[in-house]
Amino acid sequence: MSLQPHNIVCYFIGFLLLMSTIHAEQPSQSKSLTSNNRHPWTHMNWNNNPENFQFVIVTDRTGAERDGVFDIGIEKVNLLQPEFVVSVGDIIEGYTDNTQQIYKEWDDLFKLLGKLDMPFFFVPGNHDIGSVELAKIWKEKFGVSYYHFVYRDVLFLCLNSECDEMEESDQSISKEQTKYVKKVLQDHPDVRWTLVFMHRPVWRYPKGEQTNWEQIESLLQHRKHSVFAGHTHTYRYEKKHKQDYITLAAMGGGLSIGNPFMKFDHVLWVTMTDNGPIFANLMLSGIWDKDFTKKDVQDYLTVITSDKAVRIESKGYEDTPFKDSPIKFRLYNSQDIPMQIKLTFDESHYVNYSPAEIIKTIAPNSVEMVPCKILLNKDQWPNIPEKLIEGEEMEEDEMDEALIRAIEQLWPLRVRWEITYDFKQYGKIHVQGSRELY
C-alpha cells in the first residue's frame, strides 16, 4: 500500500493528538493553574521537601498501667511508619529495688519494643529511674540518663528530670546536666530547630523549687525550640516565649476521672519543616489497619474500655488506707449491645474483698454502680502502728515513715476484668484489662 499525501497528513495529525493525550495523562511539575491551561488539580508544588521528616512521641506506659494499651500502641506506630520514636518516660513500672523484678520488667519491655520497625529513644521517668537500684540498672543498660543527637539539622535534647540518683542530686535537673545542656547548645548554635524532651513538665513547677529549668530555659531563649514532657497523664498545650510546650497524656498509664478531652491514649505525630514542627495528636482508638479484622475490633475495644468501662467512683483509702473500706465500681457499657463483665482481684496477704468477684451484664449504653468492700487482714500487717490503722493522729515524721512501710506492702491492689461482647458480624469478642484500686 502506498502512502498518499492526504494520508500522511492524517497520520501526522493523529500522532499529535495521541501525544497530547499521553502528555495530559502524566502531570508534570511545570503545569500549574496559574497558566492558561485547564487541569483537574490545584498546583504542582509537591509537598515533598527532602529536609522534612516525621517522628512520633510516646508517653507514659506505667503509673497505674492499664494492661495491653501500650502493646496496641506499638502496633499502631508501625502502621504510621515514622522515621523514629521518642519516649518521654515512665516506660516500666519500677518503684522497686527488687533487682530480679526490675530486670524482668526491662526484658518484657525490650521484647515489646523489638516489634518496632524504627529506632526508639529513651528518656527516664520516675518509674524508670526513681530509686538507687533502678538508676543503677538504667546506667548499666544505657550508660547515661541524658544525651543529645542531631537529625537533619534538628537538635534533639533528651533530659533527665528526676532527682538523679546517679549524681546524688536533690534537684529535678542536676547542675552537671545543666552544664551539659549549655555546652551542647554552644556546640550547635545554628541548627534549624531544637527539640527538648523530659519526663516531668518542670516549667510548671512553682518558682523557688530546685529544678534548674530556669537556667536551661534562658539558654534556649534566643533559638527556635519546642519542649515535651509527660508524667501527669493529662494533655496540656502551652505557649511560652512564643514557643510550643506540650505535656502529653498517656499510652497505657492510668487515667483518673477528669476532663475526658485532656485524658486519653495517644501518640504525638511530629512533622519537622523549615518553618518548625507541625503536631498531630493521634488517638490510639482512631488508628486502624487497612482491613477491619476481628483483632482490630478487639484492640479498639481494649483501648476504649481500658479507661471507661471500669472506674472507681469512691475510694476507701483517701483518709487512711488501713481500715475496712467500702468502694464503688462504676461499670459503663459504651456499645449498642449488652456487655458481660467479670471483675476479679489480685491476691494479697493483707486484704480480702467482699464479694470476691463481681459478675454483671450491663445493658447497652448504660451505667451501673456496684458496691464492694476491702477487708483488712490486720494480723498480716507487720510493724504497722495501730494509730495508723485506726486513723488516729500521729507526728508527721512518724506518719510518713509508717505510711511508706505500709504502702510498700499494700501496693498495688489491682482489679482485673474480662468483658465479653457478642457481635453479629464478629461473634464473641473478649477484652481484658486492669487498673489499680487507688
Domains of the chain listed by start with CATH number? 53-286 (3.60.21.10), 309-436 (2.60.40.10)
Residue-wise over 136-160: b if at least 16 C-beta within 10 A, else e? bbbeeeeeebbbbeeeeebbbbbbb
What DSSP character marks residue 413?
A: P
User: What does the pLDDT read at residue 208?
Assistant: 57
Judged on CB neighbours under 10 Å (0-12, 13-18, 19+), 175 is middle
User: What does the pLDDT read at residue 317?
Assistant: 47
- Rounded Cα distance, 423 and 429, in Å: 8
Collapsing DSSP to helix, strand or coil, 245 comes out as: strand
User: What does the pLDDT read at residue 327?
Assistant: 87
Question: Consecutive 10-residue runs of the chain (438 residues): their mean pLDDT?
Answer: 49 49 48 66 90 97 92 97 98 92 97 97 95 93 97 97 63 87 97 97 80 91 96 95 96 78 93 96 93 90 92 62 76 96 90 94 97 80 61 62 61 88 94 86
User: What does the pLDDT read at residue 158?
Assistant: 98
C-alpha distances (whole Å) from 240 to each of 194, 200, 203, 207, 208 are 15, 16, 9, 15, 19
> Which helix (H) or strand (E) is 55 found in, with range?
strand 53-58
8 A C-beta contact, residue 282 and residue 80: yes
* Report field, pTM of the whole predicted structure over 0.75: yes
User: What does the pLDDT read at residue 333?
Assistant: 97
- Grid coordinates given for 361: 451484664
User: What does the pLDDT read at residue 191?
Assistant: 97
User: What does the pLDDT read at residue 312?
Assistant: 85
User: What does the pLDDT read at residue 371?
Assistant: 94
8 A C-beta contact, residue 330 and residue 339: no
